[in-house]
Amino acid sequence: MRRRSAGPVGTSGPDGRGTADQGRVASGAAHGDWLTLGKDRRLTLYAPTEGGLLRWTETAVGGPGWSGPHFVPVAGLTHLTVARGADSYVHFLGRRERTAADGTPGVDVVHAIQYQTGLAVTDWRSLGNPHQDREQAGKLGPPVGAIASDGTVHVFVRGAHGGLMLRREAPNGKWRAWEDLHGAGLDALPAPVALAGGRIEICAAAETGVLIWRQTAPGGDFSGPRGFSLRPAPGTVAAVETGPDRPTFFWTDTESGGAAAWRAGGSPTALGASPAVRPYAVLRTSLDGYDCVALAYRDRDGSAVLGMGGTENESAGFWWYGLSEPCQGAPALARDGRDRVVMALIGPDGVPKVARQEDGAGLSLGGWQRL
């Protein structure tokens, strides 16, 4: 992928880092990797707000200090997804609604990039809408993204007819036309995963069960959808690579009401816990020398829950901890520059909170820090 110009947004401050605005609060949680680790090993947290997005950045590796919020304006933004590439570039995907000069509404997908921690966000570029008809265009779902290991950006969105649409970069850095990957009755938030070998897979809850698309080779076409008679709750599916070129998908099972883990070729493994109402945050990490997966979600009472278990060893047990911390949307998980697990959430008042892994066995979080 060719590197684009990293011009700042129009209302950035004189240092190009955004406009500091202590009066703004988040309007909810973004989708995807909204807590990310940069090349310089500092974390950054992103959240949507009225008229754009907010950004908080660690002032030193491992914290505890943070700068921000810095406001990045994006007029008309209705949904925000954050996707981090293997190169640590942070990609922003938004669904935007605007009113044309003649008064007619318009919907498009927009994209921007932050190349370096705490520095400017590029200009927002419209990726258009796969539908020409205005009524159909208005039914476009929120975009989700996956960044291939070579840096190629893939944008997936549920179309007006309930199928999956794709727009992605070409090898020369330009954008290809929208592609129809078909399917029907999809949930609004399909779950793509970029695998280390270069391929991308997508899992989506659908009215008929689960649909899977697999990229045939890095940069290649997508096969599918292949259907499976499984019952994930809409809006809860998440994915992470747990083995070489092999993803595991997590969701809330509609029959049991608890979390489940599934890999193609097998049966779902029940993980217990209460039902999630948003996609799970998923992080693969090392705990006490063991390869583990950590999950976090918002339960029906609006509180955050944290869980952990062995990677691809879910049947050995999953351990859950109710945190008694209310939150908006789904929490986020990441590792900081000292390889500690960090959990972030957006409080009911729109203020983010973070908690870090404490020293000792297992996964225990310290006190919550308001940013």
The pLDDT of residue 358: 94
* 142 domain-assigned: no
Q: Does a structural domain hold residue 226? A: no
In a domain, 370, yes or no: yes
Query: pLDDT tier at 19 (50, 70, 90 boundaries)?
Result: low
Does position 69 have pLDDT exceeding 70, yes or no? Answer: yes
Whole-number Cα distances in Å, 251 to 79, 129, 169, 238, 331: 21, 29, 29, 6, 15
How far CA 5 is from CA of 115, 117, 126, 296, in Å, comes to: 10, 16, 15, 36
Is 355 contained in some domain?
yes
Collapsing DSSP to helix, strand or coil, 136 comes out as helix
183 falls within a domain: no
* Domain annotation covers residue 293: yes
pLDDT single digits (tens) 332-355: 999 999 999 999 999 999 999 999
Per-residue pLDDT of 102-148, as tens digits, reads 777 799 999 999 999 999 999 999 999 999 998 999 999 999 999 99
pLDDT in tens, 160-184: 999 999 999 998 889 999 999 999 9
pTM of the model: 0.93
Query: Dmax over Cα atoms in the chain, in whole Å?
Result: 62
- Tally of domains within the chain: 1
**Does some domain include residue 105?**
no
* Per-residue confidence (pLDDT) for residue 18, from 0 to 100: 52
Burial readout 40-53 (b: 16 or more C-beta within 10 A, e: otherwise): ebbbbbbbbbeebb
Main-chain dihedrals φ then ψ at residue 84, nearest 5 degrees: -105, 135
**Mean confidence (pLDDT) of the chain:** 92
pLDDT band at 8 (very low <50, low <70, confident <90, very high): very low
Note down the domain range covering 342.
Answer: 240-371
Each residue's pLDDT tens digit, 92-112: 999 999 887 777 779 999 999
Q: In terms of Cα–Cα distance, which of 97, 115, 121, 99 is closest to 107?
A: 97
163 in any annotated domain:
no
Cβ pair 323, 303 in contact under 8 A: yes
Closest to 68 measured CA to CA, from 23, 105, 6 = 23
